[in-house]
Amino acid sequence: MNFDIGIIGGGQLGEMMCIEAHKLGYTVAVLDPNPKCSCSYVCDKLIVGEFDDLVKLNELGKCCNVLSYEFENVKGEILEELNDKYNIPQGICPLFDSQDRLREKMNATRYGLPTVRYFDCSSLLDLKNAISALGYPCIYKTRREGYDGHGQVVLHSVIDIDKVKPYLEHNLGIVEEKLEFDYECSIILIRSKENIISFPIGLNIHKDNILDITAVPNPYLSKEMEDRIIEASKEFMIQANYYGILTIEYFVKGDKFYFNEMAPRPHNSGHYTIEGCTTNQFKELDKFLLSLPLEKPKLISATCMKNILGRDLVNLEKLKNIKNSNYHDYQKDQVKPLRKLGHITYTNTTLDLLRTEFKKQNIGE
Ligand code: ADP
Ligand code: MG
Binned at pLDDT 50, 70 and 90, residue 1 comes out as low
Looking only at Cα atoms, what is the longest distance across the chain? 60
Q: Which helix (H) or strand (E) holds 80?
A: helix 76-85
- In this structure, the answer to whether residues 168 and 191 fall within a common structural domain is no
- In this structure, the answer to whether residues 332 and 263 fall within a common structural domain is yes
94 domain-assigned: no
31 domain-assigned: yes
pLDDT at 145 over 90: no
CA–centroid distance, residue 145 to ligand 2 (Å): 12
Q: Collapse the DSSP code of 38 into the 3-class scheme (helix H, G, I; strand E, B; otherwise coil) and give the result.
A: helix
Closest listed ligand to the CA of 134: 1
Pick the range with the lowest mean pLDDT from 126-130, 132-136, 148-152: 148-152
- In this structure, the answer to whether residues 9 and 128 fall within a common structural domain is no
- In this structure, the answer to whether residues 332 and 244 fall within a common structural domain is yes
pLDDT in tens, 261-292: 999 999 999 999 999 999 999 999 999 999 99
Which residue, by CA, sits nearest to atom 9 of ligand 1? 149
Q: What is the percent of the chain with per-residue pLDDT over 90, rounded to a whole number?
A: 93
Contact between residue 230 and residue 82 where contact means Cβ atoms under 8 Å apart: no
pLDDT at 157 over 70: yes
- In this structure, the answer to whether residues 61 and 135 fall within a common structural domain is no
Task: Identify the CATH number of the domain in which residue 288 sits.
Answer: 3.30.470.20
Binned at pLDDT 50, 70 and 90, residue 365 comes out as low
**pLDDT for res 44:** 98
Q: Which of 99, 115, 139, 208 to mutate to test the pocket of ligand 1 (most atoms within 8 A of CB)?
A: 139
131 domain-assigned: yes
- In this structure, the answer to whether residues 189 and 331 fall within a common structural domain is yes
Task: Identify the CATH number of the domain in which residue 123 sits.
Answer: 3.30.1490.20
- In this structure, the answer to whether residues 25 and 71 fall within a common structural domain is yes
pLDDT at 104 over 90: yes
d(CA 17, CA 79): 21
- In this structure, the answer to whether residues 258 and 356 fall within a common structural domain is yes
230 domain-assigned: yes
pLDDT at 236 over 90: yes
108 domain-assigned: no
149 lines ligand 1 (CB under 6 A): yes
CA–centroid distance, residue 21 to ligand 1 (Å): 32
Contact between residue 344 and residue 306 where contact means Cβ atoms under 8 Å apart: yes
Q: Collapse the DSSP code of 160 into the 3-class scheme (helix H, G, I; strand E, B; otherwise coil) and give the result.
A: helix
The residue range of the domain holding 156 is: 117-177
d(CA 26, CA 242): 25
104 domain-assigned: no
- In this structure, the answer to whether residues 207 and 309 fall within a common structural domain is yes
| Total domains, the chain | 3
CA–centroid distance, residue 210 to ligand 2 (Å): 8
Q: Which helix (H) or strand (E) holds 203?
A: strand 202-207
- In this structure, the answer to whether residues 8 and 23 fall within a common structural domain is yes
338 lines ligand 1 (CB under 6 A): no
pLDDT at 148 over 80: no
**pLDDT for res 334:** 94
- In this structure, the answer to whether residues 83 and 198 fall within a common structural domain is no
- In this structure, the answer to whether residues 209 and 335 fall within a common structural domain is yes
Closest listed ligand to the CA of 101: 1
